[in-house]
Structure 1
Amino acid sequence: MRTISNTIFIGKILYSLENIPSTNAWVQEFINTHEAVEGMTVIAANQNAGKGQQGKRWESEPGKNLLVSILLKPAFMEVKSLFFFNKAIALAVMETIRRFTDKQVWIKWPNDILIEENKVTGILIETSIQGNKIKNCIVGVGANVNQLYFNDLPNATSLAITEKSEFELQDIFEELCMQIEKYYFILREKKLKEVDTLYHASLFRKNILSAFKTENHFFEGIITGVNNEGKLIISVNGSEQKFSVKEIIFL
């Protein structure tokens, strides 16, 4: 994979690796042992211990998908604004996928990317905090690009499946770096309301009656939004309820 020519800082320092446990873990180890520059990027052909949200294993066929982690240092952001960072990254990844399909692309709370109703991309952001500021964010993105079969993942898809065509991973990698940099600069300009509005405009199942499951029961409700703490807001029989990531499952 080649370094990026049309960004200012993301992807300028690039480590392109064949087989590692996890791109996020590789970046974290690098931070622990080296002076790491913001925008440093690692990309792998295969990772054998990749993780998604809540520690779930990330399945990826070697050489078929985009597995990338980017180091960002948003010291300009306070910890209370952390979920705006998540929203901005989700928007960047969504915009990347939209460049390669005409189908509907959604953000499924908190930051999975769907083509129609099937997951095409996962995002794992690992953050370190210093005082009330964000020190480092390792942004891990796993995008299903050319993989055609997924074991025991009935709701997974890829660009190759939806578009019936193979893609150059370099093209998607370059678009991803450009989009993340674009939205990162939007955050730097303190345009949090713009980020929030765009996120909600692409929120999966917003304002649609949907079924959910918590630890204790099944219920129906309408997603009305996501608050600044990152909690999902659902209207249930006219009463608003808020849920954290581990508290609720979409059905």
Structure 2
Amino acid sequence: MKTIKLDAIDSTNDFLKGLLQHQSVENFTIVTAKKQTKGRGQMGAIWETEESKNLITSILIKKTLNNYEAIFELNIAVSLSIINALKKINIPALSIKWPNDIMSDNKKIAGILIENVFKEKGNIESIVGIGLNINQTDFEKLPKATSLKNIMNQDFEIEAILEEIVTHLQMYTEKIKNKEVDLLWKSYHELLFKIGKPVVFENNNQEKFMGIIQAVNKNGQLQVMLEDDSIHEYGIKEISMIY
């Protein structure tokens, strides 16, 4: 397992993608940065971070996925890896906000951005970007965000948390390869933010509506029961949750 440590970079995901274009890259190669100038979240959202205070990393996962239908299983594996690493340091009230934000109570502490490169014979190489707020304390511009330090009132060792995440991720990707994913799905749903509770959503037309989260399907779509008791499935770019 190779680790590349950078002082500053525009995007660790883009750096790793660039490496893949020019050379063979070892599975589970890790890129970390003290500062990232163009970090991205889901749907192009900007993710800003103070230098040297948070985990900024991208991890190459290959030899795991070989069909499009299994892509969301990697999202589940990454989410559960972060959750389990944080449980070890007693972070409370952890949950996964669909599709892959990590929450403590109602505050976001981490985001995940997975970018997939489709290769020959159906093989897929995945670049797993993780941003985890660890020792930053100022979130004035991000009222729904917080950090491990704000929650626990102590500093944390960034590299130790990364090692714990990667250890779990290696274990979970083996389960995906062996098609042992039923327990992963079960754990994901048990941790799903607001599952079974009335939630306000907003669609692409800025229309708000009430729904109750039922589950996430195999394609990663959110299944929501509407007020007429019908169940609709929504993709990542189709709705957002108001909370």
The offset of 1:23, in angstroms, is 0.6
CA deviation vs aligned residue, 1:148-180 (integer Å, no higher than 9, x gap): 012421100100000011111121111111111
Q: Report if the CA contact (8 A) 2:91-2:151 is conserved.
A: no
Q: Distance in 1 between matches of 2:22 and 2:140?
A: 36
In the TM superposition, what are the counterparts of 1:88-103 in structure 2 within 5 Å? 88-103=77-92
Structure 1, unpaired ranges of 5+: 1-11
Q: Report if the CA contact (8 A) 1:225-1:234 is conserved.
A: yes
The offset of 1:74, in angstroms, is 3.4
Structure 2, unpaired ranges of 5+: none
**Residue 229 of structure 1 aligns with which residue?**
219
Q: Report if the CA contact (8 A) 2:54-2:135 is conserved.
A: yes
Change in CA separation of 1:24 and 1:219 when aligned onto 2, cut-off 3 Å: same
CA deviation vs aligned residue, 1:213-235 (integer Å, no higher than 9, x gap): 11332111110000111110000
The offset of 1:102, in angstroms, is 4.1
Change in CA separation of 1:149 and 1:74 when aligned onto 2, cut-off 3 Å: same
**Residue 250 of structure 1 aligns with which residue?**
241
Matched, 1:239 2:230: yes
Identity %: 32
For residue 186 of structure 2, give the secondary structure of its aligned residue in structure 1.
Answer: helix
Q: Report if the CA contact (8 A) 1:79-1:134 is conserved.
A: no
Q: 1:109 aligns with which of 98, 114, 126?
A: 98
CA RMSD of aligned residues (A): 1.3
**Residue 19 of structure 1 aligns with which residue?**
8
For residue 63 of structure 2, give the secondary structure of its aligned residue in structure 1.
Answer: coil
TM-score with structure 1 setting the length: 0.92
Q: Distance in 1 between matches of 2:88 and 2:64?
A: 30
Q: Report if the CA contact (8 A) 1:19-1:46 is conserved.
A: yes
- Report how many residues are paired: 240
Matched, 1:219 2:209: yes
The offset of 1:134, in angstroms, is 3.5
CA deviation vs aligned residue, 1:35-87 (integer Å, no higher than 9, x gap): 11111111111111111111111111000000111101135531111111111
